[in-house]
Amino acid sequence: MNEHAREKRLTQILDGARNCFIHRGFHASSISEISAAAGVSVANIYQYFAGKDALIIALIELDLQRHHSLISRFWSSDFSREAIEELLADIFLTPEGHAVAVLRAEIASEGARNPQVAKLLRDSESGLISSVHSKIREAQTRGQISSDLDPVAVTARLSLVFEGLMRLYLFSPKDGKSLIDQYYRQFADALQLKS
């Protein structure tokens, strides 16, 4: 199988697994259900993954990459209300965004049970925090935000606000616009922006 076909099949399997995990959770989803959702044979899944745990880890790694990408785009913006709302709309105003929130809750639960997942999440969080500290310092150097701001305190506040709003979004997806507004107000206050 050529590399393009292999990548396409891998994506197909991961998409099927992701769909199952979002709707049924990691532990309630079976390999046969994932196979049906992905439109591939069970044997085909095992050509790519040693088992369901390997699929879970692969999906968690993909989710973490997406999260890091969002954070990078966030801190590369001009911090205007419009820019931040546009970035957050992909999460808080779409069915796909709600699916991400559901999957992230499932990942957090898995981290409490599985030491390998817990380590993956801790390592990712550590890298993400370090990256945000750097992005804040860069914004300070550009004069975009006050040099008096403490990157550690700003990162902690915004992280806690975002995670809290994601939890609310899980149960109230219709409140997406309000959640975006709440986040932007916290963001503007933390960075001492004129909103």
What is d(CA 190, CA 195) in angstroms, rounded to the nearest whole number? 11
pTM: 0.85
Confidence of residue 1 (pLDDT cuts 50, 70, 90): low
pLDDT in tens, 42-72: 999 999 999 999 999 999 999 889 888 988 8
pLDDT in tens, 64-118: 898 889 888 989 899 999 999 999 999 999 999 999 999 999 999 999 999 999 9
Compute the average pLDDT of residues 155-182: 95
Compute the average pLDDT of residues 123-142: 93
Q: What percentage of residues in the chain have a pLDDT greater than 90?
A: 86
Number of neighbours of residue 58 by Cβ within 10 angstroms: 17
> 49 Cβ partners below 8 Å, 6+ apart?
13, 55, 58
Q: Where are the domains of the chain?
A: 1-49, 56-190
Return the percent helix, strand and coil in the chain, to nearest 5. 80, 0, 20
The CATH code belonging to domain 56-190 is 1.10.357.10
Fold of domain 1-49: Arc Repressor Mutant, subunit A (1.10.10)
